[in-house]
Homo-oligomer: A and B are copies of this chain.
């Protein structure tokens, strides 16, 4: 009694063939000409594409942003993930000042337990470094949290200094962990914001103008220099600029072990959306850090995906309703909650604007949306692959359909989407999570949350 998916065009990060896939229990057990047995659930996938369920490397569900809490919690967030063909999310637990990492992890588990519709793992954001935290990095890895995050921005809040970065990097090598970095120079941004405010520059657009590209590039360079000194690998989260990417490439060329992630918003949206200082507050929808950039940056990031300089794609999903939440920042851009939604649309946006526009091919698509993340974050070959023994996490996509992204139809629990009106030339027909059909016929199949916590192996895995 298994599942047999018949006749689809199967894509992995390297292969393309027409064949059947048989899943028993949670695992793929056979590929190719597969015999079915009595009691098997048979899915006819002829004419459809089959690829591994997506892995979103970067979400923030149920996050307390100080003045408000994200619109999406783990339930709505992971339902949206499933609806969008993403079967695994990696969310950020973040240490509060004065807290241990274990406390932070415990709190995160409490938020996610019994709520998730897709599988999930955690990265651990470190904001309050001390000897105890250093010891706990090993505990985290033992708990399957083998990736961490440090912030070079958010001065006075999340930001850590270069000394902490150095010690944490040294420690990461000892425990087999990988640290991701939010790369923007918080010291300089802090100055630019003060200058802006002093000059009465308070509209949403100044969010972008006080976080210029050069400050991402500087931070990327600095992280690589410290990584090189500490002989540690590093991961750059949500890379948004050409300049930062060129630095990353140059770092790789001189031997730094550096990995890059970007997000659909940096590929598809640009800074013009912030509008001008004309009284409109529409730009607040796009207030996120780093901010949207220029068209030239977008092109460079696509090229980075194509050539393998950037390996993974996350959404940095961190949703706030425009009404009532983003509006906290009317009259003061620094009070606008930072972030936007995305987990639901990443897979189809990258297919439609990446593959169909000829920027990447189908194998690269699979690699960039799933396989590379699985490898890097200690989940391969369980996740990110269609092979014997891998989890039965599969997306069946109908390439002949198309539809328009509309916030009113979305599963994620937020009152807008930055991709409103984007035409997506495909339709996700079915999604399997560990062999179980969890999305079908435009609906998340609800007999409750099926997602499991993923205890990940050491990072960077291969």
Contacts and interface: CB of A to CB of B under 8 A. Distances in A.
A163 to B, nearest CB: 4
A17 B32 CA distance: 16
Given A30-B31, A30-B32, A190-B163, A218 B225 contact: yes
Interface in A181-236: 185, 187-191, 212, 214-215, 217-218, 221-222, 225-226, 228-229
A440 interface: no
Nearest to A375: B14
Contacts of A30: 30-34
A381 interface: yes
A412 to B, nearest CB: 32
A462 interface: yes
Interface string A132-176: 000000000000000000000001000001111011000000000
Interface string A239-268: 000000000010001000000000000000
A215 B222 CA distance: 11
Contact of A15 (B34, B167, B229, B387): B387
A415 interface: no
Contacts of A217: 225
Given A17-B381, A29-B32, A225 B221 contact: yes
A227 to B, nearest CB: 11
Given A30-B30, A381-B15, A187 B162 contact: yes
Interface in A1-52: 10, 12-19, 22, 24, 28-35
B385 A14 contact: yes
Given A17-B387, A31-B388, A249-B253, A187 B161 contact: yes
A225 B214 contact: yes
Interface in A270-288: none
Q: How many copies of this chain does one complex carry?
A: 4
Interface in A359-396: 361, 363, 371, 381, 385, 387-389
Nearest to A185: B162
B33 A29 contact: yes
Nearest to A166: B188
Contacts of A387: 15, 17, 31
Contacts of A35: 35
Contacts of A15: 381, 385, 387
Contact of A163 (B12, B14, B187): B187
Contacts of A381: 15-17
A216 to B, nearest CB: 11
A12, A24, A163, A363: most-surrounded residue (chain B CB, <10 A): A163
A152 B185 CA distance: 15
Contacts of A212: 229
Contacts of A388: 10, 17-19, 31-33
A194 to B, nearest CB: 9
Contacts of A363: 462
A16, A32, A167: most-surrounded residue (chain B CB, <10 A): A32
A18 B29 CA distance: 11
A160 to B, nearest CB: 9
A214 B256 CA distance: 14
| 5 closest A-B pairs by CB | A30-B32, A163-B191, A163-B187, A162-B187, A32-B388
Interface of A: 10, 12-19, 22, 24, 28-35, 155, 161-164, 166-167, 185, 187-191, 212, 214-215, 217-218, 221-222, 225-226, 228-229, 249, 253, 361, 363, 371, 381, 385, 387-389, 462
